[in-house]
Structure 1
Amino acid sequence: MQDTPITPELKAFLISIGSVSVDPSLIPRARGSTAGPGAGTSSVFFRSGEKRVRLSVSKNSPLSIEAAEEDRTVTLLHEGRELARGKLEPAPAHCPEQAFITLCERCIFDCKYCPVPKLQGHIKNEEEVLNIVDDVLRAGTLKAISLTSGVEDSIEGEVERVLKLLPILKKYDVPIGVSVYPTEGCSRKFYDAGVVEVKYNVETMDREIFQKVCGDLSLEYILDRLKEAVEIFGKNRVFSNFIIGLGESDTSVREGVETLAKIGVIPVLRPVNPHPLRSGDCFTERPSPERLLKLAKMEAEILRKYGLDTSLAMTMCLKCTGCDLVPFVDF
């Protein structure tokens, strides 16, 4: 049986749930060929036709993925009713077709929705990073390298961590994207070192909410660095995660998207992912399918107004599209 097209409405519904139970026999398909940061059973990528969606694995999800009769195909169901047929995409390093690597899994900042400060995880050295990229290369799926990082000691230290890696990563001859907390002047350094795209996250454009959930950071400072980045990288090469589900109004989202688009930045509207380690630390609510569709269509209208196009992305989240409803790609 042929793949079933993932419509914008279906993807919005799947993202609003955000999880899926998976037949254990199918997990090796989703793992790919490595034990990189995206391997294992924490999430899977379901692809049908040219569209994909990423879902975390949960035994209690109303969504399920089961093997279909046809070789290598799977069926996606909601409470036993078939929604779509497609395949599980290998994600050797966080997402398909990229080596998407978190360099530092720790953070000194305490954004109230984020589990990273509580987890205080691993910090990868150069050898580990190269091993991950080599594994994706051997799997035959390396089309981009994307680097992100928490903050171990200082934002300056994380920028330097990335800059030290860039010369050796250029040998792979694929686009490189970087997403870190920025320093003044770092965009010029990244660009000169061969980076093609950057993502500096505003998290939310509602200033009152920002102060409550990211009080250690400065929204104005991030906006200044985004403006600086657009001057260097140009339009369609600078992105920013914009979390949906922290209590913001649709009006504030529209105003925030317009503010970013006006300076040449493409917002990535990212549904909040409530984490048990941050339970009660701040308001979080997974957005409904209807709200996701409404906001994505609103974003498309604004991006069109300012001549921005998500489909031109070469790295990171907008190239993957698994977690978000992406204008001009998903609809």
Structure 2
Amino acid sequence: MRPETKAQLISIGSVNMDPSLIHRLTIPTAGPGAGNVAFFFSSAGHRVRLAVKKDSPLQARMQDSELVISKDGTELARGSIEPELIHCPDQAFITMCEKCIFDCKFCPVPKLSGKVKSMDEMLKMMEEAHSTGRMQAISITSGVEESAEAEVDRAEKLIRQLRNIYSVPIGVSVYPTEDSTRRLKSAGADELKYNVETMDRDIYRKVCPEQDLEFILQALGQGVEIFGRNKVCSNFIIGLGESDESAMKGIEELVSIGVVPILRAAARHPLREGEVFIERPSAERLLMLNRFLREKLDEHGLRADIFETMCLPCTGCDINPHSDLEP
């Protein structure tokens, strides 16, 4: 699967196929893709996560024991459906809280009746994942049930317990608080992700009115100081109305403080229709911005392909500028 093909698949984000072909149906519970049936498609060492939708312009069928994805009768890629561990292959990726008090306009989570997992439930999920022999990392994320402080408390407690049991890398992504970075590192986390969502200040005020971008950027900078370089990343949504110039300026700002941005294609959700402008980026735009990102990462001595937890090693939802793009 060439970079151009992966970018095309991500730009569409879905495929029309028989759901019975998937080993185990999964429904993401966090982020803009929450609530959609999805699977991981692996081809020639590259991976992409696709939602299953009847109205998708992509079609998939089995041929000679391979899944073949085509558009308008032309084959785009062939490969296999990759089994998930928890939320993604090879990682136990746990969402502690599937609710959120923040009303970010692109995200369906605040409008879904998500659950809040108990500590015992999460530890049991980790134990079952570890028993498969395929658990290479643990990743923890969360919405916000009551307060950001309470989620940091839960994450800290969970990480401490997991670190006493497992020796694999642990990554964590929560909304930051004044002392969250030091506490999460002290608990045993190896990698950190605080999401900026967008770096366009005007758009941010409209789509994340209850959050503070400048505080998040300050927390990310502190994260680099405490966790180290090539240990801190951030989701950066592309397709909320930002210009290419704005996106590139945001990339430069994040990279300059030692943060590795993850360029996430914006996704429409029916629960958010009419509340937010969404224009899913084209394959060409995704490639252009990720090639620009790679240049900036290289200039600052940062790597997107050495992270061990969360989204960067998974690569299912995004183009990893180092592992997916050719030098």
Q: TM-score, normalised by structure 2?
A: 0.94
Whole-angstrom CA distance in 1 between matches of 2:22 and 2:85: 12
The corresponding residue for 2:87 is 94
The Cα of 1:174 is off from its aligned counterpart by 0.8
Contact 1:23–1:67 (Cα < 8 Å) also in 2: no
The Cα of 1:37 is off from its aligned counterpart by 6.3
The Cα of 1:65 is off from its aligned counterpart by 2.2
The Cα of 1:137 is off from its aligned counterpart by 2.0
The Cα of 1:68 is off from its aligned counterpart by 1.8
The corresponding residue for 2:260 is 266
The corresponding residue for 1:3 is none
The corresponding residue for 1:48 is 43
Q: Provide Cα deviations, 1:214-244, integer angstroms capped at 9, x if missing partner.
A: 1111111001100110000111100011000
The corresponding residue for 1:122 is 115
The Cα of 1:62 is off from its aligned counterpart by 1.6
The Cα of 1:305 is off from its aligned counterpart by 0.8
After superposition, the Cα gap between the structure-2 partners of 1:56 and 1:311, relative to the gap in structure 1 and judged at 3 Å, is same
Q: Provide Cα deviations, 1:133-157, integer angstroms capped at 9, x if missing partner.
A: 2232233321111000000111000
After superposition, the Cα gap between the structure-2 partners of 1:254 and 1:24, relative to the gap in structure 1 and judged at 3 Å, is closer
Equivalent position to 1:281, from 275, 278, 291: 275
Equivalent position to 1:310, from 304, 308, 321: 304
**Unmatched segments (≥5 aa) in structure 1:** 1-5
**Greater than 6 Å deviation, 4+ residue runs:** 35-38
The Cα of 1:24 is off from its aligned counterpart by 3.2
Equivalent position to 1:7, from 2, 8, 32: 2
Q: Specify the code of the residue in structure 1 equivalent to 2:50.
A: L
| Number of positions where the alignment pairs a residue of Structure 1 with one of Structure 2 | 321
The Cα of 1:23 is off from its aligned counterpart by 2.4
Q: Provide Cα deviations, 1:244-296, integer angstroms capped at 9, x if missing partner.
A: 00000110111111111000000001011111100010111100111111101
Equivalent position to 1:230, from 215, 224, 246: 224
Give 1:1-331 correspondences, 5 Å limit: 6-28=1-23, 30-31=24-25, 42-70=37-65, 73-170=66-163, 171-331=165-325
RMSD: 1.8
Q: Specify the code of the residue in structure 2 equivalent to 1:197.
A: E
Q: Provide Cα deviations, 1:162-213, integer angstroms capped at 9, x if missing partner.
A: 0111122121211000000011121111111110001001110000000011
Whole-angstrom CA distance in 2 between matches of 1:138 and 1:68: 32
Whole-angstrom CA distance in 1 between matches of 2:212 and 2:45: 38
Secondary structure in 1 aligned to 2:15? strand
Secondary structure in 2 aligned to 1:22? coil
Whole-angstrom CA distance in 1 between matches of 2:29 and 2:105: 23
Identity within the alignment, %: 54
Whole-angstrom CA distance in 1 between matches of 2:202 and 2:111: 24
